[in-house]
Structure 1
């Protein structure tokens, strides 16, 4: 496929309508040449259709096929590895097409590149936690967040299942789980997506709901307490990849945390085991100690 045909595909994919004469003038060729190019693109499966009449022209069908990528061999290998990785992320939005996309992309590559990929697969793997349910839930949440629409679902909290209605800000993936911050009345709460079921997108729309990125960038406006943590050398290395504690300096972490988040923070700190110690405040120390004591009490003895 020559560069002009690729350029026509990209131009037509803008969803605008063009006449053959407009295209001919844009590419400085004859109308007949443009018509041959358009016929060739249709023969390849590019979904063009013609509108007849005085105001007619060429358009692309809404469910269109996007133009192919022009990649070097290194870029092609990198893209395939990214597709392989995405197949391992559970419940990835729009993920039902990942395996199909990888197979389709692989089949279009030259045989020598296919052979190289097959050999590379023996030397790389991506380990992820299994997902709680299928991808449509994260897809629905993401769609509702973009449209700023309310959602309703059953949530399995520690206190038991309950019906929830919220406006989602978006979703983010961290340490094997998808999380959804959302506006619940006058508060912002964080939900684990794998604990959600029976999700329904409602008709209510609230244009004041911020995007996930805007919310993450906003300054915390709740009353907060300074928390001081002391990490071991190994703990500091683990914390470097932790969204919450990655700003460790000299094995010490200092930050402001709202007291209502202490329970979440205490449980997160338990995953570090003896690699972290709560220096202050006392309330967070007591929450960590309380969880440990309840865990030990299950084993009896003394």
Structure 2
């Protein structure tokens, strides 16, 4: 990072904290103690009203909040923002229903002529070949806002077999394999569940208290809330390196990878009612997995393959 960019970010950092130490700067900006001291001197020369307090609990203090310079983006940041936006266009739904054409026009209006020329050139050299979303999800914004505002929602959830009413506390939403999913706590089942967003046909705020404290829960550790029921069946499969790669592309909270004796294994649980899900999922791995336990799961997979052969 250039020194000018770092000082700009540092001004915003100390304006927000009001009190900071050299260690704070060293950790936040990954710089040496000597560089941190030089940067503080540069900030003072720029007019930052700082004073130092010595002693064991000392540090730097900002006398008053500052008027900060306008936010500016580097070329790399401009291109990263633009192509992040472009990558979302393949989704039929997004959390906030917006026109990408309108955003695109506004974005190109504010960048410099040189940046606009480079973006137009990059468009001819960059393509996004990921699974396109084919199903509309009408309530992504409501689900996301409920997760942010810690609210409980009453939803109608429609599957090929039935429509049920559920009360859920949304935790986060994510996109995978062409679908949007909502990680939630199901207040009826008293358990963590994942819902396909396009199957949610109505949403309303429920007058119920949330059951999960979301302060320390984000999309990366939300799976830790999931717990198998007492009827869940445990399974274990050996898995090859190519299978591990496939698992990382699509996996679920009820399963994980483990290492034993320098070999990799796919382990987890499935509910008896989820046989129609677990068999096609394991079959998608082809020869990259081999079922170890339970034997019944291996027999059901054989039946699945034979059924496919009979349809050829």
Question: TM tier, shorter chain?
Answer: 0.5 to 0.7
**2:293 aligns with one of 274, 280, 290:** 280
User: Given the superposition, is the C-alpha separation of residues 195 and 294 from structure 1 closer, same or farther in structure 2, using an over 3 Å criterion?
Assistant: farther
In the TM superposition, what are the counterparts of 1:101-250 in structure 2 within 5 Å? Answer: 101-134=103-136, 136-146=138-148, 147-157=150-160, 160-169=161-170, 170-182=172-184, 183=186, 185-188=188-191, 189-197=193-201, 199-209=202-212, 211=214, 213=218, 215-218=222-225, 220=227, 222-223=229-230, 226-244=234-252, 247=257, 249=259
Alpha-carbon distance, 1:265 to partner: 2.6
Question: TM-score if structure 2 supplies the norm length?
Answer: 0.63
Contact 1:156 1:195 (8 Å CA) reproduced: yes
Alpha-carbon distance, 1:84 to partner: 1.1
CA RMSD of aligned residues (A): 3.5
Q: Equivalents in 2 of 1:229, 1:269: separation in Å?
A: 9
CA shift digits 1:86-107 (9 cap, x unpaired): 2234422114254422321122
Q: Equivalents in 2 of 1:243, 1:68: separation in Å?
A: 42
Q: Equivalents in 2 of 1:219, 1:166: separation in Å?
A: 17
Contact 2:136 2:198 (8 Å CA) reproduced: no
Contact 2:158 2:200 (8 Å CA) reproduced: yes
Partner SS, residue 139 of structure 2: helix
Partner SS, residue 163 of structure 2: strand
Alpha-carbon distance, 1:137 to partner: 1.8
Q: Equivalents in 2 of 1:154, 1:270: separation in Å?
A: 27
Q: Equivalents in 1 of 2:269, 2:166: separation in Å?
A: 26
> 4+ runs of 1 displaced by more than 6 Å?
none
User: Given the superposition, is the C-alpha separation of residues 294 and 138 from structure 1 closer, same or farther in structure 2, using an over 3 Å criterion?
Assistant: farther
**1:257 aligns with one of 269, 277, 298:** 269
User: Given the superposition, is the C-alpha separation of residues 161 and 227 from structure 1 closer, same or farther in structure 2, using an over 3 Å criterion?
Assistant: closer
Number of residues of Structure 1 aligned to a counterpart in Structure 2: 238
Structure 1, unaligned runs of 5 or more: 1-6, 12-26, 29-66
Q: Equivalents in 1 of 2:125, 2:158: separation in Å?
A: 40
Alignment match, 1:21: none
Question: TM-score if structure 1 supplies the norm length?
Answer: 0.65
Q: Equivalents in 2 of 1:241, 1:174: separation in Å?
A: 9
